[in-house]
Amino acid sequence: DTILSVSGVSKTYGSGTTALHSVDLDIAKGEIFALLGPNGAGKTTLISIICGIVTPSTGTVTVMGHDAINEFRAARRLVGLVPQELSVDMFETVLATVKFSRRLFGRSGHDAYIEEVLRDLSLWDKRDARIMELSGGMKRRVLIAKALSHEPDILFLDEPTAGVDVSLRRDMWKLIHRLRDKGTTIILTTHYIEEAEEMADRVGVIDKGKLILVERKAELMKRL
């Protein structure tokens, strides 16, 4: 079951940098897919295009039957993005942040869903804390809760463990597996090969804007 289809996607920024060269990729419902590549390879650009934040120069993206470029509002509801940078109001509480994000997507109510998300992320006990009071690992989990607020079908995580110590990284991997086990399709970017190896069902290797290899994990490990 294909949930997301990327076809012939290229991107040249206004600065003249070509970040992507004709990328094709199909993602199956329920899989964990890792986009592996060095800094500057085009990973963030690709997920930004799929999430409707950056417009591609050419190509098409289809998310659950919606054209993600021309109907980006419809497609955006189906995806949640956990960005690299801490994009929250530090003075706001955890619960208010997640509820506000849900309302931005035009979804109200469902306090039971929000409670479940915060419990899954071990943030329920911290729901009334201001984000600035939380540890680094908790702050990262708030970004995940925010991205899940509107019940997306696909969750994108941009470098979920960059700059994180080993034990927090393992916690994050477990957490991501749990989210998938609840039915969310997961796409993450990473420049750590061990993260791709540990996390993903399939790995796409991207370098200089080209998707040079897409393999099931077992096949990839034989090649590298």
d(CA 71, CA 69): 6
Q: Which residues in 171-189 are b (16+ Cβ under 10 Å) and which e?
A: bbbebbeebbeeebbbbbb
Output the smallest distance, CB 22 to ligand ADP, in A: 15
The reply on whether position 167 binds ligand ADP by CB under 6 A is no
Residues 176-195 that bind ligand ADP (CB under 6 A): none
Nearer to ligand ADP, 14 or 183 (CB): 14
Q: Any contact of residue 160 with ligand ADP (CB under 6 A)?
A: no
Structure tokens at 157: 């995580």
Closest CA to 189 of 35, 4, 39, 48: 35
Asked if 149 is part of the footprint of ligand ADP (rule: CB under 6 A), the reply reads: no
Geometric angle at alpha carbon 162, from 94 and 133, rounded to 5°: 25
CB of 19 to ligand ADP, least distance (A): 3
Annotate each residue in 2-41 with x if it binds ligand ADP (CB under 6 A) or - if it does not, as one string.
Answer: -----------xxx-x-x-----------------x-xxx
State the minimum distance, in angstroms, from the CB of residue 44 to ligand ADP: 3
Q: Does 43 bind ligand ADP (CB under 6 A)?
A: yes
CA dist 149 and 37 (Å) reads 29
In the bound state with ligand ADP, the residue whose beta carbon lies nearer, of 48 and 97, is 48
Q: Which is nearer to ligand ADP, 42 or 204 (CB)?
A: 42
Cα–Cα dist 60/9, whole Å:
6
- E strands of the chain, at which residues? 2-12, 18-28, 32-36, 58-63, 66-67, 79-82, 154-158, 185-190, 202-207, 210-216
Q: Which stretch binds ligand ADP (CB under 6 A): 42-50, 64-72, 74-82, 110-118?
A: 42-50
- Residues lying near ligand ADP in the complex (CB under 6 A) are found at 13-15, 17, 19, 37, 39-45
